[in-house]
Structure 1
Amino acid sequence: MKRRKEKGGHHSGTTCFSSKIVCGECGNFYGSKVWHSTSKYRRAIWQCNHKFKGSAKCGTPHFAEATLKQSFLNAFNQLITNKEEIMENCEIIKKVLTDTADLNSEAEKLQGEIVVVTELIRQCVEENAHSIIDQAQYQQRYNGLVARYEKAKEKLEKTEELRQARRVKREQLDAFISTLLRQDSVLTEFDETLWFAIADKVTVYASDNIQFTFRDGTVIEA
């Protein structure tokens, strides 16, 4: 969702390729377009959404969905020829990139900090309510504690985002490995379920240079 927002894309739900194909020249998403919609020459193609929006037109090509599907088949069949090596690499990647031990420790410290500061703020407010205190000093102390609280809260939110991202990455890699284990023959027909399970994105540079990035980080030109 974050990547779609950054690239100005959206997911319409009408096709499995929405927000998955990236222009290698400008970085924007490809979108589905219909040419000659009211004539017998009607044709659906995929094209960079930003192709004609800038001062300079993107040079990346348009192509039919059938071309994309065939390219995916080619890339996937290349992938399974190195299945054992790729699965070993996936296990290494999981250990390095999805471990949350350090983040768990950081989150615990930040939660403790928030509890402490919350109590200090409560005491500060209570003391001001029951004692004669210089209000300028009180406000300075109070503002300092609130700033400390907000800083800890912001750090905790970022830590939680990183923890969630690592958990999602682990789930994706587990699904990727499971899919590879089940596939023991060359793929001859496009499988949408398989596409969702293992494909991360497609980057188009030229008609003869379409690169598929799989969920384990493997990039194959098809």
Structure 2
Amino acid sequence: MAKKITKIDPVKQRVIQQLQPKKRVCAYCRVSTDSREQQNSFSVQLGYYKPLIEDQEDWQFAGIYADEARSGTKLQKRDDFLRMMKDCENGRIDMIITKSLTRFARNTVDSIQAIRRLKELGIAVFFEKEHINSLSEKSELMLTILSSLAQGESESISTNNKWAAVKRFQDGTFILGTPAYGYTKDENGELIIQEEEAEVVSRIFREYLNGKGTYVIAKDLSEEGIPTIRSAEKWQDWAIKDILQNPIYTGNLLQQKTLTTDVVPFKRKPNKGQLPQYLIEDNHQPIITKEQAEAVMEIFDYRRKQMGMDDTGKYQSRYAFSSKIFCGECGSTFRRQKIYIGKPYEKIQWCCHRHIEDITKCSQKAVREDDIQWAFTVMWNKLVSNYTEILIPLLDTLKKLRMDEQQEQEISECSNRIMELTEQSHILSRLVSKGYIDPAVFIERQNALTLELAAAKKKRGQLLDNNGFEREIAGTELLLERIKNKPDVIEEYREDLFLQITDKVIVQKNGQITFLLINQLELSEPCRKEAVEDDAKTYAHRL
């Protein structure tokens, strides 16, 4: 007896076809340079895709996303690409057409990640030149290979460009793309002085030699509304330092001060001896004298030694409180300052960075370094004297809270579900490879499995993170070990002890100094000045 077989189309596909008869299709275009030839290519692409999409009866034009003069090696620098991805996630696009894989991205990792994200959303990317649809079953391998080839091409071009640049460095024919602040270029590419900017450069050197710091100079220039380098919002102290240390202002030109990494994504980094540099003396008209430049460098060297920094500008032995003191009012970090410099009562204080910049944005007062040290000493002695009443019960409580039965059960359920979904995904892959199910059905089910799998993994991660208390438990155990080994109170501040047990210090608005310890326990002490005042008030009250 012959079997009767009736094909039943998926309900979801029929509903989609009824509610949305046309596929919303967009195009993505990109040109990588500012040359006139590439700009023409850009215009041609724009004029090509719109009629191509509109001529298809079952397609609906969803727009053209175009990045002009953008590199394909970094997705972060392509505004329209990121906007297109966002529109895809918001359900506004069903398909993307692009000229070729090299127009889409030259970075293998970024390209594959973007395509996989679009596949999860059920959105196809069609590459015309390679004639590949990203939703086809064999697309993953081909796209990976072609993306790798595109990335290799970018790296090869980068290598050739770097070789050509070095060649021009060696024979002195390299022309700067963007001249340093204070200079511009003539028709031959030679550096000439830009008078208004040169006056600012001269002022920066003069004020630094007269004792002003880079932060104060930057602040004064910003307040006076003097135009900044490359139209930045305001002057920064690092920009002042760059100007003061640049040999270009003495008439010399130092080339290859930076380098570009060899592999995608290309990153520009300071050349700190990895590659040779090329110094061209008396290359152009100077703005300052060589004697001024030498005096500035002597001041820099002196201040580096005073601050414990090496020749690269990194701290050899940073202050114990650096990057650890935070403002309880605005959350900014505190900066170290010296007051009454040169006098017998010279002191060190720490002040909120935002308060220093603008007193109207934060009213937090500065706190003396010895007051913080005194408060830490008092806090530590109290903790040592009472650790059996504070730390031991805290450790027991944390261990009990680490995980309850309900959470363990939920985590176990999530883990089992993840295993089931993973196995289903493998079964689907085997079925489609043997031709037992239609590729379109496979894609629909695979996308659903992928979304559910991601949700299950996210839930399990949140359960593991929320109530683990691993950091708090480990920190409390370290504190107990530290106290049991040396339980004695201390008579004066110890920097090594502070660094071992403290995560951060918060200076509160009311004058309290809060110490956040390595186990996330917060212990507060009043500032010494306020503590003395409170003691005086208490004594007066008793009298």
**TM-score bracket, shorter-length normalisation:** 0.7 to 0.9
Of residues 200, 211, 217, the one that matches 2:514 is 211
Name the counterpart of 1:6.
none
The reply on whether 1:180 has 2:489 as its aligned counterpart is no
| Kept in 2: contact 1:90–1:216 (CA 8 A) | no
Name the amino acid aligned to 2:380: F
CA distance in 2, matches of 1:112, 1:21: 45
CA distance in 1, matches of 2:369, 2:486: 24
- Give CA-to-partner distance per residue, 1:85-135, whole Å, 9 cap, x none: 113332333324445876665554433332221221121122223236444
- RMSD over aligned Cα, in angstroms? 3.3
Look up the SS of the partner of 1:190 in the other structure. Answer: coil
CA distance in 2, matches of 1:72, 1:32: 18
Look up the SS of the partner of 2:469 in the other structure. Answer: helix
Aligned residues: 208
Q: Residue 207 and residue 154 in structure 1: after superposition, are their counterparts in 2 closer, same or farther (change >3 A)?
A: closer
- Give CA-to-partner distance per residue, 1:132-170, whole Å, 9 cap, x none: 64444332211111111212232344445457x622221
CA distance in 2, matches of 1:70, 1:97: 34
Look up the SS of the partner of 1:79 in the other structure. Answer: helix
Q: Residue 74 and residue 50 in structure 1: after superposition, are their counterparts in 2 closer, same or farther (change >3 A)?
A: same
CA distance in 1, matches of 2:320, 2:399: 30
| Kept in 1: contact 2:514–2:522 (CA 8 A) | no
Flag as ranges the 4+ runs of structure 1 deviating above 6 A. Answer: none
TM-score (norm 2): 0.34
Query: Unaligned 5+ residue runs, structure 1?
Result: 1-11
| Kept in 1: contact 2:411–2:463 (CA 8 A) | yes
Name the amino acid aligned to 2:369: E
> What are the within-5 Å matches in structure 2 for residues 130-169 of structure 1?
130-131=434-435, 133-162=437-466, 166-169=469-472
> What are the within-5 Å matches in structure 2 for residues 56-95 of structure 1?
56-95=360-399
Structure 1, 196-205 or 23-32: larger mean CA deviation = 196-205
Structure 1, 47-56 or 60-69: larger mean CA deviation = 47-56
The reply on whether 1:14 has 2:318 as its aligned counterpart is yes
Q: More relative contact order in 1 or in 2 (CA 8 Å, sep 6+)?
A: 1
Give 1 or 2 for the bigger CA radius of gyration: 2
Look up the SS of the partner of 1:51 in the other structure. Answer: helix
CA distance in 2, matches of 1:100, 1:49: 43
Name the amino acid aligned to 1:90: L
Name the amino acid aligned to 2:394: C
| Kept in 2: contact 1:23–1:29 (CA 8 A) | yes
Name the amino acid aligned to 1:138: F
Look up the SS of the partner of 1:72 in the other structure. Answer: helix
Name the counterpart of 1:193.
496
Look up the SS of the partner of 2:354 in the other structure. Answer: coil
Q: Work out the percentage of aligned pairs sharing the same amino acid.
A: 23
Displacement of 1:25: 0.7
CA distance in 1, matches of 2:339, 2:382: 33
